[in-house]
Amino acid sequence: MYRSHTCGELRIADVGSSVTLSGWVQATRNFGGLTFVDLRDRYGITQLVFDQEEQPELADQANKLGREFVINAEGVVRERSNKNPNRATGDVEIEVLRFGILNASKTPPFTIEDETDGGDELRMKYRYMDIRRNPVKENLIFRSNLSLQTRIFLNQQGFVEVETPNLIKSTPEGARDFVVPSRMNPGQFYALPQSPQTFKQILMVGGMDKYFQIVKCFRDEDLRADRQPEFTQIDCEMAFVTQEDILNTFEGLTRHLFKHTLDRELGDFPRMSYDEALRRYGSDKPDLRFDMEFVDLNEEAKGKGFVVFDNSELVVGITLKGHADSYSNKDIKKLTEWMQRPQIGAKGLVYVKYLADGVKSSVGKFFDDETLNSWKDKLGAEVGDIVFILSGEEEKTRKQLSELRLEMGRKHELIKDGDFKPLWVIDFPLLEWDEESNRFHAMHHPFTAPKKDDQHRMLNGDHETMKSLRADAYDLVINGAEIGGGSIRIHDRQLQSKNFDLLGFTKEEAEEQFGFLMGAFEYGAPPHGGIAFGFDRLCAVMNGQASIRDFIAFPKNNQGKDMMIDAPSHIDTTQLNELSLAVEIEEKKD
């Protein structure tokens, strides 16, 4: 037996018990007469004591223990004279009577502490030591709890978890597939699923009624920060439902998860149309933890002789409360430069400060104080506030101002710690016209249904009509992060076929890639819809963390590499031959 108790378990009531513990040496402290060893496992840290006088041999051995040695120790629990109130086991210590080294350890390449001195690369290479650290360990345990609670709730609601296949068919639409050569079918390939979308729809056609799955998905994208080639979804689908049913069900799931993992009751789940979200916050995933709503100043600011505004499609502002004095000319200059970076691309930044001794503004030359003061009401501004104004092409300007709004939220700590603001964004456009490729793109995906009232228009309308179609699609946004997205699906062959047409599929392409689905629609497909939650992101948002990486046990780096196992790697020629493949690396042209 390696242990009678864990290292997080013993309390004052256990004093006098004989116990055996196993774990890792967190630290040893030699005070001459006494040696203390902090023994750590997943559950906590317990102090071991060795008395040089009473057990000289044991104490000598203990003094030789290095960090991260794995030992087990037998002894008797006793009360500590010097209690540690910051540790659950801090009232007791173990007077060790016997101990053994289960495994030695080289000196770890970084400290196994909450705040480590290991950089990202070292941590990933030695992930097994990184996981011993509390923050990573707790994240992984949180993730496990969250998945269990997801399953418990959905099961209670009658959902069936069905595993869909990982070796499926490649479909060029959307992101790039990872493919898997088939040895038994030379020259042919499986693809790894970007999502189980078609399979869950097939399950609805199969009468499964309520499906879910917590499932790995794969996308071969050029990795931007915080993207992973494999990621996890809570994937759900329901039959015989309207958007209303789905929103209610998954508001329920979200409430359950917050309640049963964080013990938090969430407030309202307001709903906002896509258009409204863009108008009020310049984003389809607005962070509602703070205000700073957009105020349209076209009427007030255009036609007053300031040519920049006059030539703009939109003049729009936000009010930062109580910070009129926080921005010197130098600060404004810095902020303007920040807004002008290519990532944001604003042309300039106009400010208006409402000060006790008057108004100050970068457009003071063009607008007199009276005019500027007249904007206050509409802006909700008072003395002491500063207003930022952008102008230009409508869509771009809103996006730029959204970035500024978020920056202000972060910079001025407008966000209450531990606050959660959920929001359903609804009524998305069905299709986006892409000037570059001269075709429509699906705003959500090709299986999303237009709103019922728009179906006739979709089947019979002209090109311009298509731009105005609304989808029965919805996103769940929490704290400005898109947590989930879904839609009511098309369940009619004709409508699906029309959608593929609009998206630029030839009949043959549509048939080859999605013929099975359109075929299924001819054999009794019920109305259905669903949603998928980004599980990694949900974990991070619920814990107020910006990165998903430490909620994934073994993440890959930005080159898609696993630094610990050193994957991907070259494979044998034999393997390639069996797969009827040859590697042909082209020289990169400059």
- Asked whether the beta carbons of 315 and 389 are under 8 A apart, the reply is yes
Residue 317's identity, in one-letter code, is: G
User: Given the complex with its own copies, which of 156 and 326 has the nearer CB atom?
Assistant: 156
CB nearer to its own copies: pick between 97 and 564:
564
Residue type present at position 296: D
Residue closer to its own copies by CB (options 199, 306) is 199
The DSSP-derived string for 198-215 is: HHHHHHHHTT--EEEEEE
Rounded least distance, CB 494 to its own copies, Å: 11
Q: In the bound complex, what is the minimum distance in angstroms from residue 540's beta carbon to its own copies?
A: 15
- Burial grade of 570 (CB within 10 A; 0-12, 13-18, 19 or more): exposed
**Which residues have a Cβ under 8 Å from the Cβ of 291 and sit 6 or more positions away?**
none
Smallest gap, in angstroms, from Cβ of residue 49 to its own copies?
A: 21
Shortest distance (Å) from residue 205 CB to its own copies: 4
Nearer to its own copies, 80 or 151 (CB): 151
Closest separation in Å from C-beta 134 to its own copies = 10
Assess contact for 241 and 449: CB atoms under 8 A. no
Cβ distance to its own copies smaller for residue 90 or 529: 529
Do residues 23 and 47 touch, judged by C-beta distance below 8 A?
Answer: no
Torsion sign across C-alpha atoms 88, 93, 98, 100: positive
| Nearer residue to its own copies within complex by CB, 303 or 568 | 568
Q: Which is nearer to its own copies, 36 or 43 (CB)?
A: 43
Question: What's phi and psi for 515, nearest 5 deg?
Answer: -60, -40
For strand 295-296 and strand 314-320, is the pairing parallel, antiparallel, or unpaired?
A: antiparallel
CA 183 from centroid of its chain's CA atoms:
36
What are the backbone angles phi and psi of residue 70, rounded to the nearest 5°? -100, 120
Nearer to its own copies, 176 or 360 (CB): 176
* Residue nearer to its own copies on the CB measure, 131 or 332: 131
In terms of Cβ atoms closer than 10 Å to its own Cβ (0-12, 13-18, 19+), residue 365 is exposed
Q: Cα–Cα distance between 154 and 256 in angstroms, integer?
A: 10
What residue type is 99 in one-letter code?
A: F
Cβ nearer to its own copies, comparing 265 with 566: 566
CB 188 → its own copies: shortest distance, Å? 4
Longest C-alpha distance within the chain, in Å? Answer: 94
CA–CA dist 415, 287 (Å, integer) = 9
CA-angle at 238, arms to 237 and 241, nearest 5°: 135
Shortest separation between residue 347's beta carbon and its own copies, angstroms: 35
For its own copies, give the closer residue by CB, 126 or 338: 126
195 has which bridge partners?
Answer: none
Residue with tokens 């329901």: 238
Q: Which residues contact 582 (CB under 8 A, 6 or more apart)?
A: 576
Minimum CB separation of residue 557 from its own copies in Å reads 11
- Based on CB atoms, which residue is closest to its own copies, 143 or 421? 143
Query: Contact 512/503 with Cβ under 8 angstroms?
Result: no
Of 247, 198, 273, 217, which Cα lies nearest the Cα of 496? 198
Amino acid at 120: D
Least Å distance, CB 559 to its own copies, is: 6
Q: How far is the CB of 52 from its own copies (least distance, A)?
A: 25
| Cα dihedral across residues 561, 567, 572, 574: positive or negative | negative
Identity of the residue, 34 or 553, whose beta carbon is nearer to its own copies in the bound complex: 553
In angstroms, the Cα distances linking 450 to 252, 285, 445, 459 are 25, 21, 11, 10
Which residue's structure tokens are 């054999």? 523
For the bound state, the minimum distance from the C-beta of residue 155 to its own copies, rounded and expressed in Å, comes to: 5
Shortest distance in whole angstroms from residue 48 CB to its own copies: 16
Task: Work out how close the CB of 37 gets to its own copies at its nearest, in angstroms, rounded to a whole number.
Answer: 14
Alpha carbon distance 148, 539 (integer Å): 13
d(CA 194, CA 217): 5
Amino acid identity of residue 30, one-letter, is: N
Pairing of strands 271-273, 230-239: unpaired
Backbone angles phi and psi of 494, in degrees to 5: -65, -45
Cβ neighbours of 119 (radius 10 Å): 9
Considering the complex, state which of residue 140 and residue 383 has its C-beta at the smaller distance from its own copies: 140
CB of 483 to its own copies, least distance (A): 18
In the bound state with its own copies, the residue whose beta carbon lies nearer, of 188 and 371, is 188
The dihedral built from the CA positions of residue 283, 285, 286 and 287, taken in this order, carries a sign that is negative
Q: To the nearest whole angstrom, how small is the minimum distance from the Cβ of residue 172 to its own copies?
A: 6
